[in-house]
Amino acid sequence: MNYLIVVAHPDDEVLGAGATTYKLTQEGHNVNVCILSGEVNVRNYRPSDDELEEDVNSSMKILGVNKVIKGDFPNIKLNMVPHLELVQFIEKAIVDTESAVVITHHPSDLNNDHLHTSLACQAAVRYFQRNSMVKPLKELLFMEVPSATEWSLNKSMNQYNPNTYIEVGEEGINKKLEALSQYRGVMREYPHPRSNEAIKGLAAYRGGEAGMVYAESFESAFRRGF
C-alpha cells in the first residue's frame, strides 16, 4: 500500500510518524513524504540549504522512505499562502504517489503552519470524489508532533484524541531517534518534549494505553473501504 505523510516542515514527519514509517517500509509498503515548507529560516540554529538537504536525505534513508516531495512555501507564513495553492500542491502529491492513506498534522496544533497544512490536507484528500482517475482514499490520520500538539491551548477546538495505535517496538523507536539525530539543531535536552527520553517515554505511554510494546498514536479522521 502507498502512504503519504504531509507535513509543514522538515523533521515533522519523523517526530509524528517516524517509527510507524520504519515499520511500514520494513513490511514492504511505500511511504512518501510531502514537505510544504522546505525552509527552516526561523530556527535558532539554521543549517545551510545543502546541510538541510543532507539532513533530510540521511533521515529518510534510515526510515526507508521512497520519495520526498518538497514545496517552497514560506516558513511560519503558511497562513499568508492562498489556501487553494496548498490544496493543489498536496493533491498533486497524492496523485503522483498514488497514495491510499494520508497522515498529517492535527488541526489543533499550536504551530500555525501545522494548522494550515492540516486544513489544506483535509480538502485535498477529497480529490478522488472530483476526479475518477485518482485512487480512492482509504484513510486520513492525524498525528501528534511533540512540542506542538500538546500545546493546543485553544480549548474551543477539538483536542487531539488518539484512537489508532501502531505498535513499533523498541527497534522502531530507536530508528525514529536515529532518524531525528540526522536533523541538526532539532533535538533538545530532557525534559524538553523533543528529547530522546521524552520521545521514547511518549512511545511507552502510548503503547501502554493500547497494550503494546512502544507505539505511535494517531487520530483516524476518515476511514473507507477496509
Note the pLDDT tens digit of each residue in 73-126. Answer: 999 999 999 999 999 999 999 999 999 999 999 999 999 999 999 999 999 999
Residue with cell 518538497: 70
Classify residue 204: in a domain, yes or no.
no
In this prediction, residue 225 carries a pLDDT of 75
Classify residue 132: in a domain, yes or no.
yes
In this prediction, residue 38 carries a pLDDT of 84
Domain at 149, CATH number? 3.40.50.10320
Query: Would you say 127 and 88 are in contact if contact means Cβ atoms under 8 Å apart?
Result: no
In this prediction, residue 119 carries a pLDDT of 98
Residues 6+ apart with CB under 8 A from 4: 31, 32, 33, 34, 93, 94, 97, 99, 101, 102, 103
Classify residue 194: in a domain, yes or no.
no
Classify residue 95: in a domain, yes or no.
yes
Mean pLDDT of the chain: 95
The number of distinct structural domains making up the chain is 1
In this prediction, residue 39 carries a pLDDT of 75
Q: Domain residues for 44? A: 2-166+218-223
User: Can you list the alpha helix ranges (DSSP code H) found in the chain?
Assistant: 12-26, 49-63, 83-97, 112-124, 127-130, 169-181, 196-210
In this prediction, residue 43 carries a pLDDT of 64
Classify residue 208: in a domain, yes or no.
no
In this prediction, residue 202 carries a pLDDT of 98
Nearest of 183, 86, 96, 103 to residue 139 by alpha carbon: 103
Task: Give percent above pLDDT 90 in the chain.
Answer: 90
In this prediction, residue 42 carries a pLDDT of 63
Classify residue 201: in a domain, yes or no.
no
Classify residue 190: in a domain, yes or no.
no
Classify residue 191: in a domain, yes or no.
no
